[in-house]
Amino acid sequence: MKNLYYKNMKRKSVLYLLSVCILTLCVLLNILLPFSNGKMKTIKDKNGKVVAGSISEKVWIDADTAKLGLIIKSADIHNPVLLLLGGGPGIPEYILEDEYGSNLEQYFTVCYMNYRGAGLSYDPSLDKTSLTSDTYFADAVRVTQYLRRRFAKDKIYLMGHSFGTYVGLNVVSRNPELYKAYFAMSMITNQRESEKRAFAYMLSTYEKEHNRARVKNLEKYAQVFSGNKPINFSDPLTAAYFSKIRDSYMHDLGIGTTHTMKSVIPGIFFPSLRMKEFTPEERINIWKGKVFTAGIPVSSDSFNFNGFEKIRKISVPLYVFAGAYDYTTEYALQKDYFTVLDAPVKRFYTFSNSAHSPLFEENGRAVQLLLEAVRDGE
């Protein structure tokens, strides 16, 4: 009887501990990946009422063999239309919007485009070799035409951020009749040279800090930037540098996504899992898309693009937003390229407290400058 009693007690203890573990895992899962139906939050006034004439939605449009996922938000659909081409191409810009907030929807009908193969446009059945620069340029034009038709606009505004400036610059240079102005934030100019300068800056900084471990680690990858060879992601050393070293060290030194973001894990990864405007599956697909689009042709093209040689003139007004601490797309190169890029109107704005994301780091000033540009163009 005594042995049976102890066996029952032991069984109950095991079941209790198992229950506690399951409950704890469920709580942690709900914290890290909270359930939601993915419905977009409506835009409300100060009294908590939905603003009349506002929209906040996800929509998918056909693009030959793919479907492109868009997020469209506006406090007033009669506002100017702005197509925002985010960074990446694997990580949707809306993660930054959801976490940090740009307030753009108060002044624009803003569309966040998810690139083919990534985010809301994730589709593992796509042929990776088809994800070329020309395909991405055509997709941006396709979304532009959709927005023009839907909101009855002859021309719209275009903003590129980081990788999105590679797409945006090529699109406005080829299709100026579609756009009122082009806003380039953290502009890609000559990305190979930018990466070379960033590498030199990180090495020099860690040498000054006597961080021998990181200096030694960086020195292993010095040959990635030797000579004038293109950046080749199929090279194991290059792939290892960009996947294991670059982003981590950039964020550690305040020259990455934002000047204050020390790691993409708490700064981007965890926020992406908490986005309730995406379903849990859509949030997981963000990171599937990140892996899927790694090293695709358009990404390689953007890293080896040299605007100084390829595009020296556009026919729409140009406004450049550059963070003084930016080495993801190096600040000085942005300024140099601005001086040689011809445009009917052009302005260069330095954000002294920003790295790679001025719109989110110094939001008030960024929005003010956007609105001034719109007023000047009317």
If asked whether residues 87 and 19 sit together in one domain, one would say: no
If asked whether residues 131 and 19 sit together in one domain, one would say: no
Q: Is residue 22 a contact partner of residue 28, using CB atoms and an 8 Å limit? A: no
If asked whether residues 139 and 7 sit together in one domain, one would say: no
| CA quadruple 307, 310, 312, 315: dihedral sign | negative
Closest CA to 69 of 36, 112, 39: 112
Do the bridges between strand 66-74 and strand 109-113 make them parallel or antiparallel, or are there none, so unpaired? antiparallel
Q: Is residue 322 a contact partner of residue 348, using CB atoms and an 8 Å limit? A: yes
Find the CATH number of the domain harbouring 299: 3.40.50.1820
DSSP 275-299: -TTS-HHHHHHHHHHHHHTTT-HHH
pLDDT tens digit sequence for 325-376: 999 999 999 999 999 999 999 999 999 999 999 999 999 999 999 999 999 8
If asked whether residues 102 and 1 sit together in one domain, one would say: no
Helices (H), ranges, the chain: 2-32, 94-100, 133-150, 163-174, 191-208, 212-219, 236-240, 246-252, 264, 270-273, 280-292, 297-303, 307-310, 331-340, 358-361, 363-377
Task: In whole angstroms, give the CA distance from residue 286 to residue 291.
Answer: 9
If asked whether residues 8 and 146 sit together in one domain, one would say: no
pLDDT tens digit sequence for 239-249: 999 988 999 99
If asked whether residues 27 and 104 sit together in one domain, one would say: no
If asked whether residues 28 and 44 sit together in one domain, one would say: no
Per 3-state DSSP, the chain is made up of helix, strand and coil in percentages (nearest 5) of 50, 15, 35
At residue 300, φ and ψ (nearest 5 deg) are: -60, -40
Q: 350: helix, coil or strand?
A: strand
Task: In whole angstroms, give the CA distance from residue 97 to residue 196.
Answer: 29
Low-confidence ranges of the chain (pLDDT < 50): 15-31
Task: In whole angstroms, give the CA distance from residue 199 to residue 206.
Answer: 11
Task: In whole angstroms, give the CA distance from residue 296 to residue 120.
Answer: 18
Based on the structure, what is the number of domains in the chain? 2
If asked whether residues 158 and 279 sit together in one domain, one would say: yes
Residue type, 276: K
Domain that residue 267 falls in: 40-378
Q: Is residue 358 a contact partner of residue 329, using CB atoms and an 8 Å limit? A: no
Q: 331: helix, coil or strand?
A: helix
pLDDT computed for residue 3 by the predictor: 59
Residue 343: how many other CB atoms lie within 10 Å: 19
If asked whether residues 150 and 11 sit together in one domain, one would say: no
Question: CA torsion angle for 148, 149, 150, 154 (degrees, to 10)?
Answer: 40
If asked whether residues 246 and 325 sit together in one domain, one would say: yes
If asked whether residues 172 and 97 sit together in one domain, one would say: yes
If asked whether residues 1 and 101 sit together in one domain, one would say: no
